[in-house]
A and B are shown apart, each in its own frame.
Chain A
Amino acid sequence: MKVFKLITRNTWRHPLRTTLTVLGLAIAVTAFCVIRTTIDAWYSDSRATSPNILITLNRVSLVFTVPMSSIEKVKRVEGVKAVSYAAWFGGTYIDPKNFFAKFIVDHNTYFDLYPQWVVPPDQMEAFKKERNAVIVGRKLADRFGWKLGDVVRIVGDIYPGNWDYVIRGIYTGAKEGSNELNWFARYDYVDERMREIAPSRAGQLGWLIIQIDDPSKAAVMSKEIDNLFVNSSAETKTQTEEAFALSFVEMSGTIISGLRIVSILVIGVILLVLANTMAMTARERIREYAVLKTLGFLPRHLIGLIVGESIMIAGAGGVVGLLLTAFAVIPLLETALSDFLPVVRLTPLTLILGVGSALVVGFLAAVFPTAQAVRTSIVDGLRMLD
């Protein structure tokens, strides 16, 4: 007979209690993993950024624009390899519920700076030939059942009017898990109409995308670029692409902080659930521990039995929770959030943290009952329930 066998049998001495505790832990671990996965999904765009790309936008906010004339000035800065530009288009496709990110971009240069979005050459050629052409991500096309040649009407808000676009390209991500939910239309198509209906808005860009030759010079170059526009009507703020992406995430900072706090509270809840079970268990067995001590078992043997049992329950809860997360909850979450968060993926780190938290909780939950069992004298233990 081995100690492990005794731990296993003790664990299942009260099958209902153990099953309920394991399920409680499993649900908590699932909640923890789902929250972390959701937070990870929020940050997925910022992780896909390139270190040699800078973004220049109006210092006031993204709502304000940068003039087209700034491109030539930026190009002259030493270390700048290429400059492109884009703007947020907004607008509605049929119903506001059908939200997705719509950008207008420079059709000649934009995709050169984003090699992670792969467009077949013939489709790229078609995009460049036709002013109202649009390239959409594979997942976005799948979401609405679009195919090449389809005409899609967007009702504009930032850029008023009806905008009829023809889908000429469908991009895929170069890496697994890339964002395939974007819409890229041509800037010149919109700008042309702006010249007719609102000339003051023509030639105004959302932001510049600047490729630099050396990422280590990003800070110096950002300052140099911003200095070009000091005291102009559109002072700029230049930052790395990652910082730019994170600024969007930070808009939801309070929600993310809230989620992080909830994930920690979930760990606290599972600690209490297991600590309660282990306290009941150890109290019921005080007499048995006294008998074992009478037979010559040492405190370290009791520690092994109690901590082992606690960790076994916690480990079982962790494993069941992970299986539940990986095979049931995450696929559901992926479906539910795929329209808003491009990458919903259970990472190895989340798996490790989920099981790790459960095991740490298993250890902590055993501390008090173990101390109680070790401290209780044999005589007092034998007297218990006598």
Chain B
Amino acid sequence: MAEILVHVEGVSKSYWRDSIEIPVLRNITLEIPKGEFLALMGPSGSGKTTLLNLLAGIDRSSQGRVRVGEADLSTLSEGGLASWRSAHIGFIFQFYNLIPVLNAFENVELPLLLLKMSKAERRKQVETALTIVGLADRMKHYPNQLSGGQEQRVAIARALVTDPDLLLADEPTGDLDKQSAEDIMGLVTRLNREFGKTIVMVTHDPRAAEKAHKIMRLDKGELAAT
């Protein structure tokens, strides 16, 4: 039986708007084994991104517990969560979110600046990550000199450069054309199959979700079907 990397136990999450409580997630419990590629689907407002944020430690649950590996995220301080994220989480955004004034190399290097590494070690890791995503020849290009697909590849290289335990992707193909989306999904699948990365991906796209080992559906904050 595969080792469980992510434990979500009875997690609920509500937001408050003025004095009105808006429940987003209700009593979610799930386990994600190491090496799993899980797709989260569901209509807008169903809580997919919120769940992803909780797994990334960039948001806190109102109730319940999230554990990733050895870390119980509910017990970590903000600073502790930041340090944990820098070492254990790779996050891929829908809109890439590259820093426009940094070139591809520098964008990918960003997370490594927080780790104790020599310049030479950083260079090696950045080059490896960019080679994996097929952009070794675009290192000096700035985001505005790259296509959307290439920008997302740089963002993926940035997510995997620290060799994280868990890759989280929030609609990684949502802003791409069909061909680029297929290329990106090919790359994400490769990261899972060849490099054994555990991946949780939020998507609306059934073709993207098909690449996952498992699809979970959320509806009105509840896990509806698997």
Nearest CB to that of A3 among chain B residues? B113
In the assembly, what is the distance between CA of A154 and CA of B28, in Å?
102
6 interchain pairs, CB-CB under 8 A = A1-B110, A288-B97, A292-B110, A378-B58, A378-B59, A382-B97
- Is A9 an interface residue, CB under 8 A from the partner? yes
Q: Could you tell me the dominant secondary structure of chain B's interface residues? A: helix
> Whose C-beta in chain B lies nearest to the C-beta of A11?
B101
Contacts of B59 in A (CB 8 A): 377-379
Known contacts A1-B102, A6-B101: does B82 contact A298 (CB below 8 Å)? yes
* Per-residue contact bits, chain B 93-105, to A (CB 8 Å; 1 contact, 0 not): 1010101111000
Number of interface residues of B (CB under 8 A): 26
CA distance A378 to B52 in the complex (A): 13
A251 in contact (CB, < 8 A): no
Give CA–CA (A377, B86) in the complex, Å. 17
**For window 272-327 of chain A, which residues contact chain B by CB distance below 8 Å?**
287-288, 291-298
Interface residues of A (CB under 8 A from B): 1, 3, 6, 9-10, 13, 287-288, 291-298, 377-379, 382, 386
Contacts of B97 in A (CB 8 A): 287-288, 291, 382
CB distance from B203 to the nearest CB of A (A): 16
Nearest A residue to B99, CB-CB: A288
In the complex, how many angstroms separate the beta carbon of B200 from the nearest chain A beta carbon?
15
**Is B82 within 8 A of A10, CB to CB?**
no
Instruction: Rank and list the top 3 A-B pairs by shortest CB-CB distance, nearest first.
Output: A296-B86, A9-B101, A378-B58
Q: With a CB–CB cut-off of 8 A, which chain A residues contact B109?
A: 1
Shortest C-beta distance, B44 to chain A (Å), equals: 12
| A298 x B56 contact (CB < 8 A) | no
B206 CB-CB contact with A under 8 Å? no
Cα distance, A377 to B106, chains bound together (Å): 25
List chain A residues, Cβ under 8 A from B82.
Answer: 293, 296-298
Is B53 close to A, CB under 8 A? Answer: yes
A-chain residues with CB within 8 Å of residue B101 when the two chains form the complex: 6, 9-10, 13
Within 8 A of A (CB), among B97-142: 97, 99-102, 106, 109-111, 113-114
Choice from A3, A288, A296, A386 contacting B111 with Cβ under 8 Å: A296
Residues of A within 8 A of B106 (CB): 1
CB of B138, distance to nearest CB on chain A (Å): 17
The yes or no answer to B147 lying at the interface (CB within 8 A) is no
Q: Are A294 and B102 in contact (CB under 8 A)?
A: no
CB closest residue in chain A, given B109 = A1
B85 at the interface (CB under 8 A from A): yes
Cα(A288)–Cα(B58), bound, Å: 14
CB–CB A293/B58 < 8 A: yes
Q: How far is the CB of A16 from chain B (nearest CB, A)?
A: 16
In the assembled complex, which residues on chain B have CB atoms less than 8 Å from the CB atom of A386?
A: 95
A292 to B82, CA, bound (A): 10
Q: Is the CB of B102 within 8 A of A296?
A: no
Q: Note all chain B residues with C-beta closer than 8 A to A292.
A: 110
Note all chain B residues with C-beta closer than 8 A to A297: 82, 86, 114
Nearest-Cβ distance from residue B84 to partner chain A, whole angstroms: 8
Q: CA separation between A300 and B23, bound complex, in Å?
A: 33
CA distance A312 to B167 in the complex (A): 37
A9-B102 contact given A1-B109, A382-B93, CB 8 Å threshold: yes
Instruction: Decide: B58 and A291 in contact? CB cutoff 8 A.
Output: no
How many angstroms from the CA of A3 to the CA of B106 in the assembled complex? 11
Contact A294 B79 (CB under 8 A): no
Given the known inter-chain contacts A1-B106, A379-B58, please indicate yes or no for A296 contacting B99, CB distance below 8 A.
no
A6/B102 in contact, CB under 8 A: yes
Bound CA–CA A295/B86 (angstroms): 5
B62 at the interface (CB under 8 A from A): no
